[in-house]
Structure 1
Amino acid sequence: MKLIRKITFPFVPIYYAVTSLRNKLYDLGIKKSMSYDFPIICVGNLSVGGTGKTPMVEYLIRLLKNNYRVATLSRGYKRKTKGFYLADETSTVNTLGDEPFQFFDKFKNDIIVAVDANRNNGIDNLRKLANPPEVILLDDAFQHRKVKAGFNILLTTYSNLYTDDVVLPTGNLREPKNGAKRADIIVVTKCPKSIRESEKTKIIKKLNIENDQHVFFSFIEYVEEVISFERHINLIDLKDFTLVTGIANANTLVEFLKDKKLNFNHLNFGDHHDFTETQIKDLETNSLIVTTEKDFMRLKHFKSLESKLYYLPIVIGLDDEPKFNKLIKDFVTS
């Protein structure tokens, strides 16, 4: 993979030029962005892969759901449906996609969950509902510039800041680094809890933010138990198990479990992996399976795994949570 990326380096200037031109056309108003007169918050990144968008959207849901009618709108990656789709009791991973289904499975009594690759069409359909949302959270839509969100939250990982990366196909950036200037908040995710203020200062300087931008540092907090269908096991009581992951980067999870001195075998699949019948049969031979919450949404419908399948929940912590919350609430109320 690294060799292929090095070989494709001559295409980097082409990709850079095309994406830069596209952004410039939007900045000049030649390509049109739609603005809206109600709060829309976009959560996204510059890079491909796991920067922690799903935990951030869930954080915003918890922050706002008690005071506003909140909707999430995602593309619905790898779903089997087309166009606008509104989640209901018949929805599955196949109709929604894994991340939107996770939102619905966890918050279905509190929020509206919808998917549409055309975010403008999705917003229009949500606003036509009999009881429309008051706030819409756009999941992974930073590059979807046909919508001009009122507030943009950009995520970048501590271990791979966008300032240290280059655009596709050699690097991981979907667009040039200066796209970060569209963000209102930049969150450096997956930081060590022990990160020092001096290191934060260096990172903020490296990000070269605008005067009106805010930077926060977040870290992952794992719950001290794994959860299944109304069943819980404390981590300290886990014996030998198989860890199954189908996410962009499982390193943080693996290191956490190793630090707990747990004995496990790791089966690592690609992001948004569709499990085959053969792979499910192989998983059936394991006595205990621990996975991520996103992967649990894809696997829990296999009855043969029901008695042995658990997931490890995560939440995010922020270095200055009151300030972050105030910025979000001030935007929504304004």
Structure 2
Amino acid sequence: MNNKISFCRSGIFRVLLKAVERQYPGTLNKIDLPDVIFENPMRLIPLPEISRYFNKLAEKTEDKLFIVHCGPHISLHDCNHLNYLIASSNDLFTAIMRFNAVLSTFQSNSEAFMIRSGSINKWRYNDISFRDKDRLFDGIIAMWFFIQLLRTFHGKEYLPRRILLPGNQIGKDGEVENFIGCSIDWNQKETQVWFTYDELVKRKSYVQQQLFGSKLDHQEILSYIDMPLSNDFLRCIYEVINYSKDFGFPKLENVAKLINLSPQQLQRRLKKEHLSFTELVNHQLLCNQAPRLLSKYSISEVSRMLGYQSEQSFTKAFRRMHKLTPRQYINELIERW
């Protein structure tokens, strides 16, 4: 059994969803994805959920090639922090180096690097977390992100020289190639985007340099690098519980399903770590989330945000954990201020 758990940051997934909405207006209203997930672009979404939403988007758009057709609408500006870290670079080489460096902080197990072969630069990308069609879809998304990065320097009509994709051909013969505007090699080991060395040594104009987003503070930078290792089981479950709460109070069956385990398998894994599922839920909701939220929202709002059925049930659980009620906790905060 593969116990590794991988994540994608909500901010990156939001870039794709915005591109889908531009291509297929009204689509996002048809999928059950709470807005609260995107309030913090650093929120972690389990990759099996990303795969599930791939399928839902294909169904709701009624387009099996939606992942190709929405690509031109992908914009780095939809992820302000990513836009600043990468697209603010004065030259393309630096932008690519930054893009490659931060990619793994946005999606677990993803890796990207560039090699030179004669006069051709080959940008190479792979993520071992995905399989089959989902791996192809992930590769196409990465391809579009990189093409949009190239277009930041070379203009919106820029086309790469060649593309390699990890999966069976989708669409009719030549359909995807004609849409993107260059040749594609299918069934490859990884995603690659080829462009010439002359295209690499490209600097931005003064006007282009004014287009990047706002700077990051130190806390935001730390949140970028705080990506759980896939083999850190407890930390990963902790983050899956945090994601699950936005769909209701986290239940063993739901969390197990999100990571492709049975409830019994998850319980056995936690038992080996000398922890119960209930303990992890209480730590995430009552120790990690609740104190932070109570400084900003009312008790009833916090109870709802954490998935409790009522304010009374939240108050009871909070008091059992902290030996004081949420109201008493808030009063203590006020006294400290």
Q: TM-score, normalised by structure 1?
A: 0.27
Structure scoring higher RCO (CA < 8 A, sep ≥ 6) equals 1
Higher relative strand content:
1
Instruction: Determine which structure has more spread, i.e. the larger CA radius of gyration.
Output: 2
Q: TM-score, normalised by structure 2?
A: 0.27
